[in-house]
Amino acid sequence: MPKQIIGLDLDGVIVDNTENKIKFAKKLGFNLKPEETPADFIEKVLPVEALEELRKFLYRNSETALQASLIPGAKLGLDFIKKENLPYFLISRRKDPEIAKALLKKHGLWPAFFNEENAFFVAEPEEKNIKAIELGVNVYVDDQPSVLEKLSGVSNRILFDRFGKFGDLPFEHIKVSSWKEFLSALKAN
C-alpha cells in the first residue's frame, strides 16, 4: 500500500461541538440528545432557521466558537500521526478560518500540529475532494456521510461516527467511533 497521506475534517473529528449544540438548541426551544448532534443528523431534527442560527453561534461567533472542546483522544491521535511521520492535512469547511485557527491555538494544536502549510479551508464538499486530490490524500476522516460521499478521489474514506447514528452507506468506507479505532484502522493498513 502506498504511504498513507491523511486528510482530517475539523468539526466532529478533532473539535467537539456536542455540548455547545445542545446548549444553543435548548435556547431555541429544542431538547437535543448527544446522539442527535452529528451534522448530517441534526439537519433532520432542527428547522432550517434554527440550523442557520446554530451555525452562526458555533462557527462565526468567536466567543462561543472558542468554547468547543476536543474530541476525546484527538490530541493523542495527532501526536501519534506526527511521531509516525505520516503526512496529514486539515481540510475544513469552516467559513471563518481565523476563528478555527484561534480554537486550534487555544487547544495547543496551532501551530504544533496545524499551520498555514497543512491547514486548508474550503467552501463546499466538492472542494474538499479537489483539495484532497491536489494534496495526494489517500485516507480521509469526516463525520458527515454526505461529505465523504463527495470525496470520490480519496481511496480510503473513514466515517467518524461517535454515536453510531449512521447505517450502511452507498459507497465504500470504514466506520470508526473513536480516535482509538481510527488509529487501529490506520495501523491495519
pTM of the complete model beyond 0.75: yes
Claim to verify: residue 164 and residue 78 sit in the same structural domain: yes
Claim to verify: residue 86 and residue 168 sit in the same structural domain: yes
Claim to verify: residue 121 and residue 155 sit in the same structural domain: yes
Domain of residue 36 covers: 16-65
Contact between 21 and 42 under an 8 Å Cβ cutoff? The reply is yes
Contact between 172 and 158 under an 8 Å Cβ cutoff? The reply is no
Claim to verify: residue 52 and residue 84 sit in the same structural domain: no
Q: Is residue 1 part of a domain?
A: no
Q: Is residue 107 part of a domain?
A: yes
What residues pair up with 88 in beta bridges, in sequence order?
6
Claim to verify: residue 166 and residue 100 sit in the same structural domain: yes
Q: Tell me phi and psi for residue 100, to 5 degrees.
A: -60, -45
Claim to verify: residue 59 and residue 94 sit in the same structural domain: no
Say how many domains are in the chain: 2
Claim to verify: residue 95 and residue 180 sit in the same structural domain: yes
Q: Please state, in angstroms and rounded to a whole number, the distance separating the CA atoms of residues 158 and 141.
A: 5
What DSSP character marks residue 34? G
pLDDT attached to residue 155: 94
Q: Is residue 177 part of a domain?
A: yes
What residues pair up with 69 in beta bridges, in sequence order?
16
pLDDT along the chain (189 residues), means of 10: 87 96 92 93 91 90 92 97 96 95 97 98 96 97 95 96 85 91 88
Claim to verify: residue 45 and residue 86 sit in the same structural domain: no
What residues pair up with 126 in beta bridges, in sequence order?
none
